[in-house]
Amino acid sequence: MLSEELLRILVCPQCKGELEYDRKNEKLICRPCGLKYDIRDNIPIMLVDEAEKL
Amino acid sequence: MDARDYDAWYDTPRGRWIGLREAGLVHSALRPRPGESLLDVGCGTGFFTRELAARMSGPVVGVDINPEWVAYALHRDGGRASYAVADARALPFSDASFDCVVSVAAICFVSDEEAAVREVVRVARRRFAVGLLNRSSLLWLQKGRGGGRGAYRGAHWHTASEAGALFRGLPVRHLEVRTAVQDPSGGTRARFVERVWPRAILTGAFILVAGDIGNTQA
C-alpha cells in the first residue's frame, strides 16, 4: 500500500526539496532539479539515476 | 539473490534465531516511545522492518536500493509499513523526519558507508541504531575472510572501535556499542553461550551502535 503519509514526507533525494505529486501519471516531480521519479506498483523509485528528465 | 530465497533464511531455525536476536538487540537499544515513527534504511526483504513494526505503534517506513527486495517487503508486510526504493547515501527525506532510524546489517554493503551513516543521523529526530558486522567475531572467521562467502560477499566488517568511529564529528551523543550472536551456529550451545556471555565483551557477529541525536555538549 502506498500511504498518503509516505507521499507527504518524501522529498527529492538530490536537493531535499518538496515534490509535486502527479497522481494521473504516478510520478513525483522535482522542478528545481528537473526530475520525475516514477511510482511503480505502489513503490516510489527515489533514485536520481533512474529519474526521468523533465 | 532472489528475494524469496533470501527471506526464507529467516524461516530456518538458525536464521530465525539470529534474526530475532538482532531484532531484539535493535529494539532494546532503540527504546522507542509509544507512537514514535521509524525508518529502516536498507530494509532488504523487510524482516527487521516487520519485526520492529510489530513491536511499535507509530508509522513505519522501509527503504532499500533493490526494487525486487522492496516489492517483496511490501508484499509480505500486509499494509503495516510503507516502502520506497532509495539510496542510503541520498535518502528522500528532510532532516529529522523520523523519531527513530535504524539500519540493520545494510550499511556494511554500501560503498560510501560514512555518507550512509551521515544520512541516518540527518533524518533522525531522537534516536538511531546502526547494526554492522563485527570483524572480532567467530562469524568473520567462518564467512568474512577473503572477500566473504554467500550472503556476506562484499561486506565490510568493523571492530567495535571502528564502528563507533563512523559517527565521529556527527551531532550524536551517548553512543552505546553492543553485540549479539556470539556463536553463529544457532544450536543449543549457541543459545546457552548467548545467555551467559558478558555484555562488555564485544565479540558477537552483529555489532550495534546506538545513540541519541543532539550535540555532545548538550
Q: What is the DSSP letter of B33?
A: P
**pTM of the predicted protein model:** 0.93
What was the pLDDT predicted at B216? Answer: 54
B92-111 pLDDT tens trace? 999 999 999 999 989 988 89
Percent helix, percent strand, percent coil in chain A, to nearest 5:
15, 40, 45
pLDDT: is A48 or B205 the higher one?
Answer: A48
- The whole domain housing A14 covers 4-53
We report the CATH number of the domain holding residue A19 as 2.20.25.10
Q: Residue A1: pLDDT above 50? A: no
- Calculate how close chain B gets to A7, using CA atoms only, in Å: 10
B78 CB within 8 Å of a chain A CB: no
- ipTM of the modeled complex: 0.96
Q: Residue B144: pLDDT above 60? A: yes
Unique residue bearing C-alpha cell 523520523? B98
Q: Residue B70: pLDDT above 80? A: yes
- Considering the segment(s) B3-213 as one domain, its CATH architecture is 3-Layer(aba) Sandwich (3.40)
B71 CB within 8 Å of a chain A CB: yes
State the average pLDDT over residues B142-153. 82
- DSSP string over B64-101: ES-HHHHHHHHHHHTTSSEEEEEBTTB-SB-TT-EEEE
Contact B74 A42 (CB under 8 A): yes
Closest CB to B67 among A9, A14, A43: A43
Q: How many domains does chain A divide into?
A: 1
- Calculate how close chain A gets to B95, using CA atoms only, in Å: 9
Contact B90 A2 (CB under 8 A): no
B74 CB within 8 Å of a chain A CB: yes
What was the pLDDT predicted at A2? Answer: 61
